[in-house]
């Protein structure tokens, strides 16, 4: 007959061995998964990073030349809050050989409302030259002054240079 403590010792040893096998089986599963992931990720990580980097570089090279460039528009209002009135175009004027400086008040539609002669003494004396300047100012096209992009009345200084047209024949 076996000794009395042998049976208990064998049961304790069997229990410990069973526990060791169960623990080793869990660790073996964890080790296999870790090894599989490590072996899988190492060969894929470098090509993946290279693909992302090359995609970013190629996309940025493609995007820059195809980005639409805005053309220069003559109807664009500058980003300042206000703009001054300007002259679109005027005809040559005969001022009797002298230059004339005129302050012109322009309404919101771009038409002359009033004018003041600043310099040009011969123009003040000669009524025909004054009418010629008035007609020129009446038929001159102005771009009205703007505030926040909306046209409004404004004042501008206009320099009229004398011109001569000689027709021989």
Provide the pLDDT for residue 136.
81
**Segment holding 123, helix H or strand E:** helix 121-125
CA distance 36 to 150: 70
Tokens of 33: 């998964």
pTM: 0.47
Q: Residue ranges of the domains in the chain? A: 1-75, 82-160
Higher pLDDT, 127 or 52: 52
pLDDT at 166: 41
Q: Please determine, for residue 165, whether its predicted confidence score (pLDDT) is greater than 60.
A: no
- Pick 122 or 16 by higher pLDDT: 16
Residue 12 has pLDDT above 60, yes or no: yes
Would you place residue 16 in the very low, low, confident or very high pLDDT band (cuts 50, 70, 90)? very high
Assigned CATH for 82-160:
3.30.2420.10
DSSP string, 25-56: HHHHHHHHHHHHHHHHHHHHHHHHHHHHHHHH
Task: Compute CA distances 23 → 15, 20, 35, 37, 96, whole Å.
Answer: 12, 5, 18, 21, 115
Question: Per residue in 27-86, pLDDT tens?
Answer: 777 888 888 888 888 888 889 999 999 999 998 887 776 666 666 666 665 566 788 888
40 or 16, greater pLDDT: 16
- Across all residues in the chain, what is the average pLDDT? 79
pLDDT above 60: residue 153: yes
What pLDDT, on a 0 to 100 scale, did the predictor assign at position 28? 72
Pairwise CA distance, residues 2 & 44, whole Å = 61
Unique residue bearing structure tokens 């001022």? 95
Cα–Cα distance for residue pair 76/143, rounded to 1 Å: 12
List the structure tokens of 83.
């703009």
Question: For the segment 55-71, what is each residue's pLDDT rounded down to a tens digit?
Answer: 999 988 877 766 666 66
């Amino acid at each position: 007959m076996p000794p009395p403590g042998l049976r208990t010792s064998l049961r304790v040893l069997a229990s410990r061995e069973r526990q060791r096998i169960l623990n080793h089986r869990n660790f073996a599963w964890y080790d296999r998964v870790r090894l599989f992931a490590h072996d899988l990720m190492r060969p894929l990580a470098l090509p993946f990073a290279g693909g992302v980097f090359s995609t970013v570089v190629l996309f940025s090279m493609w995007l820059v030349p195809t980005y639409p460039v805005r053309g220069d528009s003559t109807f664009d209002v500058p980003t300042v809050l206000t703009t001054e009135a300007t002259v679109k175009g005027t005809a040559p004027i005969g001022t009797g050989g002298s230059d004339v400086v005129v302050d012109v008040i322009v309404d919101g539609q771009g038409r002359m409302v009033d004018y003041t002669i600043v310099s040009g003494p011969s123009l003040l004396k000669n009524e025909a030259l004054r009418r010629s300047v008035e007609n020129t100012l009446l038929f001159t096209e102005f771009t009205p002054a703007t505030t926040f992009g909306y046209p409004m009345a404004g004042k501008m200084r206009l320099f009229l240079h004398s011109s001569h047209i000689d027709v021989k024949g």
